[in-house]
Amino acid sequence: MKIKNIILPVLLLTLVFFGCKQEPEGKKELDRKGRLYERMENHIKAVFEHYGDKIEWWDVCNEVVDHDVYTNGGARRDSKYTEIMEESGLTGMDRYEYVLKAFQWARKYADKYGEPGKVKLYLTDYGIERPFSGQTPGSKQSAFSDLVDWLIEKGAPIDGVGFQGHFRLYDHPVEQISEGIDLFAEKEGIMVQICELDFSIFGNDKGEGNLTVMPPENLPTRLADLANTYGVFFDMFQEKYTEGKLDLVTLWGLADGHSWLNNHPVAGRIDYPLLFDRDYEPKAAYDKVFGGARTFPIGAAVPGGNAYTSSFAEPPAQKDNNALSPESLQHDLLTHFDFYAAENEMKPENLLPASEGGAYRWVNADQLVDYAEANGKKLRGHVLIWHSQTPAWFFE
């Protein structure tokens, strides 16, 4: 046993480094995990080598817990990461080994290429802010909470968790979100962020799950309710910030016409989730967010030059989608926010080479970093490791 414990790490290092293809048949699953870990570490290293500590908060991993099935640790079933962990023989909570590794590499290279400890590392997901029920006993919130506890026990350098915050106007009571923030902020060393906030005006509880257009006679009331909801939530966020439980809030977009909630989750839907309308004018919700005594940072996800981001926008907004362009009607809206996050430009498929061994594609992400630096704004990075929007070769 002692001999194996000594030989195995050396063998794995050799296989990964030399790309050995002569391994025994029974070792293929382990080799696939080795290749994945090599790629993960190389990607994380490349990002921090390129940006150092210019980006002060990073989503290290996003959406790693399953939406419906929480047994056996609740690892996301449709994730290639979970598949590879299971192929290597890992079960239960140990299937999150790749998450632990990602945080370790992120801390290592963030500190190597920037001021040690300056970059804060977050684990983010949706549906964790309150205990939704799924197909098995428990909730996604409880499964995610167990994962955070497991990471803390393993010594992961995790600084906090992020609630995505894609809320529906009437379906997410502020009291439940407040309790969710309290739940995670009680954990050792954990801060909470709201990292993708928007409010759909369509409510499932009102039977509107399949509606595409809000009836015109209902729209004024919905927009008034939207403004009041933003006000109530941001009052609560201020309380949590004052209590040292929450450190920032990110709005997921700038203007309604460019929101990802158009055409989602129903094709043809027209939604109104953000602070600026389709004419790029501030809505009543804007006054509720910025009119109060807010002392915490409020940021926004910035649509950039990436083609996938443009697909969110409605015509004719698609041609005006890059908010970093001075000609864009969104451009002036950037001045209202304290920090920026890239809506899509820093996701793996937009930075990683198109094929393994190729050149990284920094151009669109660099535009945001350069703009933020030039205008004295901070940055939040989204995302280093994600099961989605990652090139297929990364998992081969």
Q: Which residues are catalytic?
A: 63, 125, 196
- 30 to 12, 21, 153, 395: CA distances (angstroms): 8, 12, 25, 13
User: Tokens 């079960």 belong to which residue?
Assistant: 91
| Closest C-alpha to 124, from 74, 178, 64 | 64
Q: How far apart are CA 377 and CA 95, in angstroms?
A: 37
Give the distance from CA 364 to its chain's centroid.
18
- At residue 63, φ and ψ (nearest 5 deg) are 60, 60
Burial class (CB in 10 A: 0-12, 13-18, 19+), 344: buried
User: Tokens 């939406």 belong to which residue?
Assistant: 67
Q: How far apart are CA 351 and CA 347, in angstroms?
A: 7
